[in-house]
Copies of this chain bind each other. A is one copy, B any other.
């Protein structure tokens, strides 16, 4: 299987086929073994604090978990040579979050939010990513760390 094609196929799948990510309006902007990004727009349904009109902490956690998982998978794919689509799918379906830490720094206010992830540790079994959430006005809203099972 062609490596570029695999990356493109998996990115498309992640972008289109994950119901909860679609529900929140996540759009994948970058899918690369070192760095991934997704973006989403403000909607009133995403609010957690109504008087102050700020994002629910769970939206922030979901964005960070998702983008960290993307970079963990992209990083795993770089060194994995699947012999068939079945083998690729089998490997992907075994991937998952082991643990996640989110640090909330500033209120989640803005029109568009960008979550980005950098790979920190990329092993055969476990990957670690650091993630950040920023708003379109440049505020650093949250950061996080995720440990992912990739093997």
| Whole-angstrom distance between the Cβ of A97 and the nearest chain B Cβ | 5
What residue in chain B is nearest A107 (Cβ atoms)? B96
Name A39-83 residues within 8 Å CB distance of B: 44-52, 55-59, 61-63, 65-66, 69
Whether the pair B104, A102 counts as a contact (CB closer than 8 A) is: no
Residues of chain B within 8 A (CB-CB) of A50 are: 17-19
What residue in chain B is nearest A23 (Cβ atoms)? B45
Residues of chain B within 8 A (CB-CB) of A57 are: 62, 65-66, 69, 96-97, 100
| Whole-angstrom distance between the Cβ of A132 and the nearest chain B Cβ | 11
CA distance in complex: A39, B17 (Å): 26
CA distance in complex: A145, B50 (Å): 24
| Whole-angstrom distance between the Cβ of A36 and the nearest chain B Cβ | 15
Overall SS of chain A's interface: mixed
Name A93-109 residues within 8 Å CB distance of B: 93, 96-105, 107
> Which of B63, B97, B102, B105 interacts with A120 by CB under 8 Å?
B105
CA distance in complex: A19, B19 (Å): 18
What residue in chain B is nearest A66 (Cβ atoms)? B58
A149 contacts partner chain B, Cβ-Cβ < 8 Å? yes
A147 contacts partner chain B, Cβ-Cβ < 8 Å? yes
Residues of chain B within 8 A (CB-CB) of A18 are: 47-48, 50, 56
Pairs A–B under 8 Å by Cβ, sample size 10: A19-B46, A19-B48, A20-B45, A21-B48, A51-B93, A57-B96, A58-B65, A62-B62, A99-B147, A100-B100
